[in-house]
């Protein structure tokens, strides 16, 4: 089954800022190559520029783009405490994506669970980086 809608990455924004439209975000992780592999191999992100940062020349990393045209930069080196503890990916159907990614071999930390913001499932890559698949649900609008 093909994934019907592209993922977008919310990065490290807090949930309350979710409505903000991102065109560029920096994702700081301990293992950039593992994150690159995870996002491109399983989630359909495209690596458009290896070891290059157009915004800050001289800072090496990977420039990714999602299918909606947003760009994300994964720097190779990050200072001490600036890692994103969890990368949040939004989805329009968490159960479907949990199932499809699980089937593709992705490890999850437990089964999808309900939160005040919607349904979420936490995927973990080989290096322990956590990716929260979040299906935001508006519980105030029921019909």
Please state the closest distance from residue 139 (CB atom) to other proteins, in A. 5
Decide if residue 12 touches other proteins (CB under 8 A).
no
How does DSSP assign the chain, residue by residue?
A: ---SS--EEEET--GGGTTSPPSEEE---S-HHHHHHHHHHTT--EEEETT--SSSTT--EEEEE-TTS-EEEEES---TT---SEEEEE-S-HHHHHHHHHHTT-EESSS-EEETTEEEEEEE-TT--EEEEEEE--TT---
Decide if residue 142 touches other proteins (CB under 8 A).
yes
Comparison of 8 and 91: residue with beta carbon closer to other proteins: 91
Q: By CB under 8 A, name the one of 3, 59, 67, 96 that touches other proteins.
A: 96
Q: For 99, list phi and psi in degrees, rounded to 5.
A: -65, -50
> 120 to 139, contacts with other proteins by CB under 8 A?
135, 137, 139
Please state the closest distance from residue 89 (CB atom) to other proteins, in A. 17
Decide if residue 99 touches other proteins (CB under 8 A).
yes
Decide if residue 143 touches other proteins (CB under 8 A).
yes
Binding region for other proteins (CB under 8 A): 1, 93, 95-96, 98-100, 103, 112, 114, 119, 135, 137, 139, 142-143
């Amino acid at each position: 089954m093909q994934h019907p809608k592209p993922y977008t990455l919310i990065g490290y924004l807090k949930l309350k800022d979710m409505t903000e439209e991102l065109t560029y975000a920096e994702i700081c992780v301990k293992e950039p190559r593992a994150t690159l592999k995870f996002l491109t191999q399983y989630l359909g992100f495209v690596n458009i520029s290896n070891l290059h940062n157009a915004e800050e020349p001289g800072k090496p990393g990977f420039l990714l783009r999602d299918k909606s045209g947003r760009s994300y930069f994964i720097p190779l080196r990050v200072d001490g405490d600036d890692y994103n503890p969890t990368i949040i990916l939004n989805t329009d159907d968490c159960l479907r994506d949990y199932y499809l990614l699980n089937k593709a071999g992705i490890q999850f930390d437990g089964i999808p669970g309900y939160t005040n913001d919607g349904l979420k499932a936490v995927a973990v890559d080989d290096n322990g980086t956590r990716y929260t698949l979040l299906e935001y649900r508006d519980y105030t609008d029921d019909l």
